[in-house]
Structure 1
Amino acid sequence: MSTQTARTALVTGASSGIGEATALRLIGLGFTVYGAARRTDRLDRLAERGLRPLAMDVTDDDSMRGGVERVIAGTGRIDVLVNNAGYGSYGALEDVPLEEARRQFDVNVFGAVRLTQLVLPHMRARRSGTVVNVTSMGGRIHTPLGGWYHGTKFALEALSDCLRIEVRPFGIDVVVIEPGGIATEWSGIAADGLEKSSTGGAYAAQARAVAAAMRSESMAGRMSQPGVIADTIGRAVTARRPRTRYATGFGARPLIALRRLLPDRAFDALISRTMGLPR
């Protein structure tokens, strides 16, 4: 893909999982790729394969400004922004402290939006570019004890829709990627947070059931590999006219379809059974 050799991509959350796989995929497609993470030591192995490491905290404005300035100084352009950094904060809505809820929104929503704000002027100047927002099937469906997490993903979906219309006159595409179950460390981290916030209280039985489901070997065995998402992002950013949404990975398409077809309480019952919630 010689036509891609001059294009530059910035990928957040590049130190592991979907971000790492995406960075490597874009390098393979000929992009100059800057991989952003809070801990750049975790990017060392990727630097050996062509990644340009970038220290960035998406909750720190100075950090994001400095990162964008470094990319522009290095290549003069940002053609693709992949907003992938994020985590899952689980716990009963009543139990999760608002400080943690705000942090969840700061990382998953405001970090992505602020970085987009910083990148858009450079894309508009070239009248081209693609903003890729990695949401989740969790931006279209809901699961128990995931209210704050789902809230961030629903928000990012809506923001992406509005942004798509706003930037279209400038030749900029906005693409939403909706991963299903992916074999990363996400589930374990979410389960740990869930047990910390909602065990020992009124929601303890639900918390134990959901945490067990997140960690179950049967569930883990069905998860898709991060490369599935990376390949999808690669297709989206090289397409002449990318789709607005790509749902891919274990469970994404069928669960989103069921959410659209089933009444609310029927979907509630389905998800409750799937997660093994006590009745």
Structure 2
Amino acid sequence: MANKVALVTGASSGIGESTALKLKDLGYTVYGAARRVDRMQHLTQSGIKILAMDVTDDASMQAGIEAIIAEFGRIDVLVNNAGYGSYGAVEDVQMEEARAQFNVNVFGAVRLIQLALPHMRAQRSGTIVNITSMGGKIHTPLGAWYHGTKFALEAISDCLRMEVQPFGIDVVVIEPGGIRTEWTGIAADKLRETSGHGPYAVQANAMAESMVGEASVKRQSPPQIIADTIARAVTAARPKTRYAIGFGAKPMIFMRGMLSDRTFDGMMRMATGISKALKTQKA
């Protein structure tokens, strides 16, 4: 892997940080990208090159790809990991926030793909790894905009896979379950801020508590298992198109396929504590 180059977005923490370190250990030249360069300084001690990149800023993405090509003339792996979870009732979420969720989770990833593809086509090889979620296959209460982005990136990945296969390029989707990162706390705080008061307050507060409650946190998987899975995918001669990994991912996706829509709705309301909270409110 000594001559192979990888770009990992959202590398300042969690899955992105673990993935950057894992790929470096495998011998890749790794660029870690994030908005906050100060949070990536420690990565330089491991030989990782850092880039200031905002996936909602086209100029910064172009500059990042150009810098990689100028130095190494190629890009072999693109890991689209940057993203966040915007939770809140559909009625409550402002359209500005809804657009921001799509800009980061979908349009930023796709724009980086557009910028990387000409170079991958020229070298007739490459792997694009899109981090979606089990949330790209299932739905949870008050997560419409977040799930919308993940469903969208799943579909885009499928279409892209067929388009670029003739050029020797692989497209891999990683569907994490519950992972021990900053994501959960940020999403829960956003939910309380958006819908913690008003007509959806009971549901929102129950859902937020289920996300950050001790029982949930204890079951979350470490981000390293996602990094290890990405490493397997990018080094495989013929990688799988999808990898569901992490707490709850495989069983939840399986249950979604087995249960009717309304039965799955009921199961999710029970699992998140919303059913109990609503009953208590009525009592």
Among 238, 241, 246, which residue is 1:244 paired with? 241
In structure 1, the residue matched to 2:88 is 91
Q: Quick check: 1:59 aligned with 2:46?
A: no
- Does 2:255 correspond to 1:263? no
Structure 1 residue 50 displacement after superposition: 1.0
Deviations 1:4-52 (A, max 9, x none): 1110000000000000000000001100000000011111111101110
Corresponding letter in the other structure for 1:179: P
1:192 aligns with 2:180: no
Query: Is residue 2:38 matched to residue 1:41?
Result: yes
Distance 1:247 1:50 in 2: 30
2:150 maps to 1:124: no
Identity score, percent = 68
Please list the CA deviations of residues 56-92 of structure 1 after superposition, one character each: whole Å capped at 9, or x if unmatched.
0000000000000001111111000000000000000
1:217 is aligned to 214
Match of 1:201 in 2: 198
Q: Distance in 1 between matches of 2:222 and 2:196?
A: 30
CA–CA separation in structure 2 for the residues paired with 1:228 and 1:55: 26
Whole-angstrom CA distance in 1 between matches of 2:196 and 2:28: 46
Letter in 2 for 1:165: M
The one-letter amino acid paired with 2:61 is M
**Equivalent position of 1:50 in the other structure:** 47
Task: Tell me, in whole angstroms, the C-alpha distance in 2 between the residues paired with 1:46 and 1:25.
Answer: 12
Aligned: 1:230 with 2:227: yes
**What amino acid sits opposite 1:119 in the alignment?**
A
State the SS of the aligned residue for 2:142.
Answer: coil
CA distance in structure 2 between the partners assigned to 1:200 and 1:114 by the alignment: 36
RMSD of aligned C-alpha atoms?
A: 0.5
Could you tell me which amino acid in structure 1 is paired with residue 25 of structure 2?
G
Residue 270 (structure 2) aligns with: 273
What is residue 82 of structure 1 aligned with on the other side? 79
Amino acid at match of 1:237: V
Q: What does residue range 163-174 of structure 1 map to in structure 2 within 5 Å?
A: 163-174=160-171
TM-score (norm 1): 0.98
Partner residue, 2:21: 24
1:215 Cα offset (Å) = 1.1
Partner of 2:109: 112
Amino acid at match of 1:172: I
Shift of 1:105: 0.1
Structure 2 CA distance for aligned equivalents of residues 206 and 50 of structure 1? 46
1:124, 1:168 → 2: CA distance?
10
- SS at the partner of 2:110? helix
Question: How many pairs were matched up?
Answer: 276
Which residue number in structure 1 is paired with residue 159 of structure 2?
162
Deviations 1:121-156 (A, max 9, x none): 000000000000000000000000000000000000
3-state SS of 2:46 partner: coil
What is the alpha-carbon distance in structure 2 between the residues aligned to residue 215 and residue 92 of structure 1? Answer: 18
Q: Secondary structure at the match of 1:48?
A: helix
Gaps of 5+ in 2: none
2:191 corresponds to which letter in structure 1?
L
Flag structure 1 segments of 5+ consecutive residues without an equivalent. none
| Structure 1 segments (4+ residues) deviating >6 Å | none
* C-alpha distance in structure 1 between counterparts of 2:196 and 2:216, whole Å: 22
